[in-house]
Structure 1
């Protein structure tokens, strides 16, 4: 039986929509891009021309379209909550960029609204949908490195253009929101959702007022720790490692594997080093197809709510407890 694709609108002509999400939508039979909205008509028309959908001027106008079942929202973090709420109240399922909101309280309100409305709200944190992480979990389950003792995750990127919204506090800028959430979620994948913040620091840029560098130590009740580092002023790094009683596993390009890249998992034990080259995978297509299945099957919001709130709670706690340094 053929399942009709989920008809999607895109709320904002963001770079991530142009480079990754709209190409993934056109590559998957599970979704159909219907329209893309921008405050600037010319920008919407450029996007629509490339991806074969309608151009809409203004976000509200897109939400009024009856032929749009769901929307993808890549707006800046500080604007996301308003438009996620408006989309849900307009009766649309929502796939929203990460993080879902600027606080756990704000995220909880949106997720509750989705549940009450019988709609699906999913945070678009894409990397867990790449098959390389299942291979890492399989190795752990087989005892390849013995008992897991600790996790370490890093995500750093070079400085952005000074005018980038990520340097504007009022738009939810900062390294923790932009890149820190990736190693946080990776730690939760392997250590569980009951992690606590045992220590943290954030370094702020005096000129912009946003955090550009940071780190945290997370601890689980089972005595396994997670050390995460993130920032905007770094050479590029996107990796994590798992250290066990008998060895360790290392994965590079853990959060940003291109569709054509064949990831390499490095396994180290005493007197033994092994590199396993894995199949390429399309994580952006995968999350869209997972979202579409959830919409069509009427999946419960509950599992997405638990994941999003656990992550948002850790982000809140890091911001609340971190030692702050301004330079």
Structure 2
């Protein structure tokens, strides 16, 4: 088994990454780090066997308990980083320099420039013996989304249009809103960056099944709820390399409308995805009228355990899956940032493709 440490930030790490690590047979949780002793202890208490998990923290300063001390442990081969967005790049670099394989949380960085800088540094390291680095995007491991991708591939045809629509309302008593670094974000987009990259990743995953990538976009952004600074809503039109247009709508401030759907329509049919269902339409056999419709319901599965399991397999194989590479995560971030830039510029057209 591979010894792994969770470098976590409170609620998110406890509810998602911690059980995912403990449910992956190839990994053994050996240590937990958080910036404060209190949050590190809370994370450890939520583990299956708290007595077997060492705790590390930087506040208060205690000899032998820092992140640097954890990274010096020879029995820990990998780290799973679920820290606040702006703290992650520096910790990713520190862990890789210490010789640890890294699975870091999305987005890959707070903006394109920071992501490019970190990726360039990593790719400049000697390939032989370089630790693996993957970026965790659990949407690509959700069973429902994988089923939708499968159906889109089977249906085939040329894309005619597509749609991403996500509406939610972040309440004042939400545990995520009351996470300090989310409540007063120091990064672009607020919840649109933190949560929005998931939805962009899902859209890109489905479009790729039909051979398409987004190459241009233009949209309007707004702050509908003053609590959710700096912006909480964006509506845009996007074009693929073949000139196929679709729409992207993401809002975290629509109290009386909620839901998440991604739809791909081709000349042969359509696939509509939600986190718990996949619906597909295809033409009936020649000579028949109407459509064949197949709709399947699924229990909710976040995909987090599967993504951690995929990284464990990557360590064994010595290579990260394409859908977990930092370059793939950078493409998600690029589209999200261009949406924000277009919105700030009054629907200024943004080209995609670094």
Normalising by the smaller structure, the TM-score range is 0.7 to 0.9
Secondary structure of 2:220's match? strand
Q: Distance in 1 between matches of 2:304 and 2:312?
A: 12
**Cα deviation code 1:194-234 (max 9, x no counterpart):** 42232022213656642211133221111223422222213
Tell me whether 1:179 sits opposite 2:200 in the alignment.
Answer: no
Q: Distance in 2 between matches of 1:7 and 1:220?
A: 43
Q: Given the alignment, which residue of 164, 167, 175 partners 1:156?
A: 167
Secondary structure of 2:80's match? strand
Which structure 1 segments of 5+ residues have no match?
A: 254-262
Give the TM-score taking structure 1 as reference length: 0.84
Tell me whether 1:72 sits opposite 2:68 in the alignment.
Answer: no
Tell me whether 1:134 sits opposite 2:146 in the alignment.
Answer: yes
1:286/1:302 Cα in 2 relative to 1: closer, same or farther (>3 Å)? closer
Tell me whether 1:107 sits opposite 2:101 in the alignment.
Answer: no
CA contact (8 A) 1:10 1:73 kept: yes
1:140/1:40 Cα in 2 relative to 1: closer, same or farther (>3 Å)? closer
Give the TM-score taking structure 2 as reference length: 0.78
Q: CA deviation at 1:98?
A: 0.8
Secondary structure of 1:291's match? helix
Secondary structure of 2:155's match? coil
Q: Distance in 1 between matches of 2:153 and 2:43?
A: 44
Q: CA deviation at 1:173?
A: 5.7
1:233 aligns with 253
2:7 aligns with 11
1:206/1:49 Cα in 2 relative to 1: closer, same or farther (>3 Å)? closer
Q: CA deviation at 1:39?
A: 2.8
Secondary structure of 1:67's match? coil
Q: CA deviation at 1:166?
A: 2.0
Runs of 4+ in 1 over 3 A off after TM superposition: 160-164, 204-209, 268-273, 277-282, 300-303
Q: Distance in 1 between matches of 2:251 and 2:198?
A: 11
Q: Given the alignment, which residue of 282, 307, 313 partners 1:287?
A: 307
1:92 aligns with 100
1:309 aligns with 330
Q: CA RMSD in A?
A: 2.7
1:189/1:208 Cα in 2 relative to 1: closer, same or farther (>3 Å)? closer
Q: CA deviation at 1:297?
A: 1.7
Highest CA radius of gyration, 1 or 2? Answer: 2
Q: Distance in 2 between matches of 1:225 and 1:179?
A: 23
1:166/1:216 Cα in 2 relative to 1: closer, same or farther (>3 Å)? farther
Q: CA deviation at 1:321?
A: 2.3
Instruction: Give the aligned length.
Output: 311
Secondary structure of 1:46's match? helix
2:57 aligns with 57
1:138/1:13 Cα in 2 relative to 1: closer, same or farther (>3 Å)? closer
Q: Distance in 2 between matches of 1:206 and 1:264?
A: 33
CA contact (8 A) 1:175 1:230 kept: no
Q: CA deviation at 1:46?
A: 2.7
CA contact (8 A) 1:120 1:295 kept: yes
Tell me whether 1:197 sits opposite 2:216 in the alignment.
Answer: yes
Q: CA deviation at 1:153?
A: 1.5
Which structure 2 segments of 5+ residues have no match?
A: 59-66, 283-289, 347-354
Tell me whether 1:213 sits opposite 2:241 in the alignment.
Answer: no
